[in-house]
Amino acid sequence: MRLPPPRGPLTEALFDRLAGSPGADRLDAAVTTGGLDDDDVQLALFACYELHYQGFEGVDERWEWDPALLGLRAELERCFEWSLAAAVPRPGGLEPAGLRAALTALACPEEEPLLPLFLQREASLEHFREFVIHRSIYHLKEADPHTWAVPRLTGVPKAALVEIQSDEYGGGRPERMHSELFRATLRGLGLDDSYGAYLHRVPGVTLAISNVMSLFGLHRRWRGALLGHLAALEMTSSLPNRRYAAGLRRLGAGPRTVRFYDEHVQADAVHEQIAVNDLCGAFATAFPPYTGDIVYGAACALELERRWAEHVMGRWQRGAPSLRARPVPA
Amino acid sequence: MREVVTVTPCEDGPLLLRGPFELLTQSGERIDAGRATVALCRCGLSSVKPYCDGSHKTAGFRATSEPEPPA
Ligand code: FES
Ligand SMILES: [Fe+2]
Per-residue pLDDT reduced to its tens digit, A227-241: 999 999 999 999 999
Provide the CATH number for the domain around residue A132: 1.20.910.10
- Could you say which of 3.40.50, 3.30.200, 3.40.5, 1.10.150 is the CATH number of the domain covering B6-58? 3.40.5
**What pLDDT is stored for residue B2 in this prediction?**
64
Q: Clarify whether residues A217 and A173 are in a common domain.
A: yes
Q: Clarify whether residues A161 and A57 are in a common domain.
A: no
Number of domains chain A contains: 2
Q: From the CB of residue A264, how many other CB atoms can be counted at a distance below 10 Å?
A: 24
Which atom of ligand 1 is nearest to B43's Cα? 4
CA distance A32 to B70: 64
**What pLDDT is stored for residue A111 in this prediction?**
81
Compute, in angstroms, the gap from residue A278 CA to the centroid of ligand 2: 18
Residue of B32, B38, B43, B53 best to disrupt the A interface, most CBs of A under 10 A: B53
CA B44 to chain centre: 11
Domain containing A267 equals 96-317
Confidence of residue B69 (pLDDT cuts 50, 70, 90): confident
Residue A59 has pLDDT above 80, yes or no: yes
Length of chain B: 71
Which of chain B's residues have a Cβ under 8 Å away from the Cβ of A108?
Answer: 57
Using CA coordinates, name the residue in chain B closest to A261. Answer: B53
Interface list for chain B against chain A, based on CB atoms closer than 8 Å: 10-11, 13-14, 16, 34-39, 47-48, 51-55, 57-58
Residue A329 has pLDDT above 80, yes or no: no
Average confidence score pLDDT of chain A? 95
CA distance B64 to A80: 40
CA distance A179 to A185: 10
Which of chain A's residues have a Cβ under 8 Å away from the Cβ of B48?
Answer: 265-266
CA distance A124 to A142: 25
Confidence of residue A330 (pLDDT cuts 50, 70, 90): low
How large is the ipTM? 0.94
Q: Clarify whether residues A183 and A313 are in a common domain.
A: yes
Residue A116 has pLDDT above 90, yes or no: yes
Task: Work out the percent of chain A whose per-residue pLDDT is above 70.
Answer: 97
pLDDT in tens, A146-188: 999 999 999 999 999 999 999 999 999 999 999 999 999 999 9
Domain ranges of chain B: 6-58
DSSP code of B51? B
Asked whether residue A326 is assigned to any structural domain, the reply reads no
**What pLDDT is stored for residue A262 in this prediction?**
96
Least confident of A84-98, A128-142, A274-288: A84-98
SS3 B24: strand
pTM over 0.90: yes
Asked whether residue A323 is assigned to any structural domain, the reply reads no
Confidence of residue A326 (pLDDT cuts 50, 70, 90): confident
Domain end marker among A54, A87, A120: A87
Domain end marker among A35, A53, A87: A87
Domain end marker among A58, A87, A116: A87
Q: Clarify whether residues A137 and A243 are in a common domain.
A: yes
**What pLDDT is stored for residue A199 in this prediction?**
97
CA A253 to chain centre: 25
Q: Clarify whether residues A239 and A113 are in a common domain.
A: yes
Confidence of residue A208 (pLDDT cuts 50, 70, 90): very high
Q: Clarify whether residues A83 and A102 are in a common domain.
A: no
CA distance A246 to chain B (A): 12
Asked whether residue A270 is assigned to any structural domain, the reply reads yes
Q: Clarify whether residues A128 and A268 are in a common domain.
A: yes
Compute, in angstroms, the gap from residue A143 CA to the centroid of ligand 2: 7
Average pLDDT (B43-62) is 94
**Considering CB atoms only, which of B14, B16, B35 is closest to A267?**
B35
Q: Which residue type, as a one-letter code, is found at position A306?
A: R
pLDDT in tens, A2-57: 999 999 999 999 999 999 999 877 776 667 667 899 999 999 999 999 999 999 99
**What pLDDT is stored for residue A109 in this prediction?**
77
Q: Clarify whether residues A135 and A246 are in a common domain.
A: yes
Q: Clarify whether residues A67 and A105 are in a common domain.
A: no
Q: Clarify whether residues A46 and A14 are in a common domain.
A: yes
